[in-house]
Structure 1
Amino acid sequence: MTIWHRSARFHYRFATNRPVAPATGVVVDLSLNIVGDFVSHGGFRNYNPDITRPTPHLIHSGHGTMAFGGRTWDVGPGDVFVFFPGLPVEYADDPQRPWRYRWIGLEGPLALPALASIGLTPSQPLGRIGDPATVDRLLAEALSGTVERAFPPTRHIAMAWQLVAAIAAKPPAVDVDTVVHQLATGDPAAPPSITAISRRHRIAPSTVYRRATATLGIAPKAYQLERRFDLAQRLLAGRTLPVRDVAAQCGFNDANYFARAFRRRYGVAPSQWRSGQI
């Protein structure tokens, strides 16, 4: 059965599958019985007090937070975050970077042990998706299969194990210099953090920080701020954008904060700096 929902803030669909044992008397240790596809339009926030099964959420794009038990985790592209039975979750996306994610519901006595075997537990619910391409392919199959027809016998069992394996897969090793290059050349308006990029590539943040500082000559955060102000100067010199739009395009959510920071840096307000470029 497939259920659709649309609202001003988000839309989603999810499909359920009733697990069927492959033969009479056979116990199904692990199966996939629900898969969903969620797209936020920005400003999504929810509190889910009724988690009945382990439910991995696989983030395709966007950023936000997920919280339970007095702890909060930043969750972004390539992450997997598991909702666990009996642990209410509060979660919300960044209005400027809305989420798209898929979620799967796992059933069976091995659901929790299978997740624990790949490092996903109530004390550590956040991980990285090891093989995103395989995960995407399996989820697309699950959604299409449950929309039009029931899973073939045992397919929901095999797919559950395949998804666990794909989440756990170890990605190819990435050279730390490649990571530093990504850190230094990303979008200046939304630069990646060392924590996020280190977790994505499974490299210690301290290793990335030391190499980046040695390569760039200054701390990574200071280098990224330099790039944001360089972009601001180029946009101001173009003379077509209002200062508030320049601030937004450079990643400053508060135009007044941008103006103060610009004045501290260059000794004049953005509008005065622009006038001096005539």
Structure 2
Amino acid sequence: MEKFLQCPVLVRHFETDGDFGLPNVGYNDFHTVRPAHSFYMQKNYTWHFVLSGRGTLEIGDRRYHLAEGDMFFIPPDTRMRYYPADEEPWEYVWFTLRGEAVARYGALLGFSLQNAAKRCEAAAGAKRVLRELFEALLQDRCGYFGVLSAFYRLMEICSTGRRAEEIQSVKRMIDDSFSLPSFSIDQLCRNAGISHAQLLRRFKRAYGVTMIAYVLRKRIELACELLETTDLPIRSIAFSCGFADEIHFMKCFKRERGLTATAYRKSQQGRR
């Protein structure tokens, strides 16, 4: 297998300040580098990307078995250790991160103390960025801002899958709760941790329909089912589908189906 770099170790140091800094970036190939197996704590955050091979991260009360394309994020002052597999040692790239913004960036990528490792769904793109970065570092064509730029590109690449997962989760929440009296898009935003405008924009981009239209469609579909299969009063069906009042339900139903709920029920009676 072709090595990411021909040298087993490469480290660059930078002077940083502000609410976000990237004081170190490095590469390690554990076919050559001797690993440490002892638990320890570090004073800064680190983010690792596994380029090849396999290894293990132990942090808190959790253990992660990692492979090519996986990432792991370690906060400061946390007891942990990580080491390569004996039969297939890993090589990885790492960034040391410092400042108040780091925890927020980690959360945007989906990391937490309960979830310190995850898969990068766009690993090939991330590896291309890393290869370009380290080739530039080897040739002294890259300084601090080049490293910072590459890191932000990696964040964008590696958070793409995270954003897709978030929107899929939101859609599942809608499917599970659209008919409940307590359902609201504002509450959905709070549960998802995404702003109202951003959530609406991302949902439309992902599914080609506005969230409001999707919720209405789900409610009308349920109403049709209840009109076809039950003798419930229209008022009860409206409330069962998440509408706050019967009049609003009747207006929405006629607009969506082209006939009133009562007419729809009569049209379906012969099919029971």
Higher Cα radius of gyration:
2
| Larger relative contact order (Cα-Cα within 8 Å, sequence gap ≥ 6) | 1
Higher share in helix: 2
